Amino acid sequence: MMQETRSGLTNTGKQDSAAQSVQAGQLPMEQPTAKAMWRLLLFFIFYMIFRLLVETAISVGFLAFGPGMPEPFRSFFMMPSDSPEMEMMLSGNSQVLVSAVGFIVAGLMIRAKAFEYDGKYSPKKETGKQFYILAAIASVSIAIFMNILIVKSGIIAISDEYAEVAENQYACSFIVGFIVYGFISPISEELMFRGILYNGFKRYFKMTAALLMSAAFFSIYHGNGIQGMYSFVVSVFIIYSYEHTGNFLMPVMIHMICNLTAYVMTYEYELMSEKTILAIFAASFVVSAACIVLMFFRDKIPVLKKAADE
């Protein structure tokens, strides 16, 4: 049962506000309850359980039948084990592909509710192509800036959790990682974190609170402080862009671009000189800032507003 909405209150101001929300295609907020918050949390729990069950089942299958695979499949999916208890173990390619299947199945399980929430709580808005172009450029710049900042800060060296995650992520072939991290995982994660959690929180809270809560969930989900910090910054940019368009393709696009940029950059980073890295770092900061200003603050700056009107 849906809780009584604020439009049902007798206060005239709240009635007018609710009516304006309905006219704009956005449902009025409902009163948050423990039951409502638990229901949102259950979606996240089920998402993780679906992934865990699928990945465990496929991993067991690989361990059981992988050693008997003909070459070159066995070399691609399996590798010698360091443990005396088993002859073979999953290769980096297998681990990433197993994760991909988990992402796909979990995403399919929640897609209907994600699209329902997207339609109800993030109605589409008229936005020109320029906004999408700026968002794409900003996504590349933010990913580059944040990754260089993290590397240069030295915090990677003191995070064993991140080192373990990075080792697993880059243990696969480039093309496997490019497809899984660049396309499959962003779609699945956006269905969960923006499609359900952000829109679900926005059902009960103002946009800023919903943004902070969903971004915090996304940060904690990554399981280590380095990725958590990066994910929080990217989440804020994703949600603001999503709010300006109401188009679910926006968060998916930004997430894909950020992941692809970070993934490719890891392979190129060691080939660049110190001066080149610093120049790219400075340029990415300037480009990110410029794109963000043009995307979100152009109407508040007289010179830019006048230029846009002309």
Find all residues with CB under 8 Å of 141, minimum gap 6, and list them: 283, 284, 285, 287, 288, 291
CA dihedral 249, 127, 239, 229 (to 10 degrees): 90
Distance CA 129, CA 270 (A): 35
Q: What is the mean pLDDT of residues 9-30?
A: 50
Residue closest to 143 by CA, chosen among 243, 224, 226, 260:
260
Share of the chain above pLDDT 70, in %: 89
Question: What's the pLDDT score for residue 13?
Answer: 45
Q: What is the mean pLDDT of residues 147-170?
A: 87
* Global pTM exceeds 0.85: yes
Whether pLDDT at 159 is above 90: no
pLDDT level of residue 26 (50, 70, 90 thresholds): low
Question: What's the pLDDT score for residue 4?
Answer: 36
Q: What is the mean pLDDT of residues 276-304?
A: 91
Sign of the alpha-carbon torsion through 82, 85, 88, 94 = negative
The larger pLDDT score, comparing residue 170 to residue 241, is at 241
Strand-pairing partners, residue 80, are 88
Question: What's the pLDDT score for residue 70?
Answer: 93
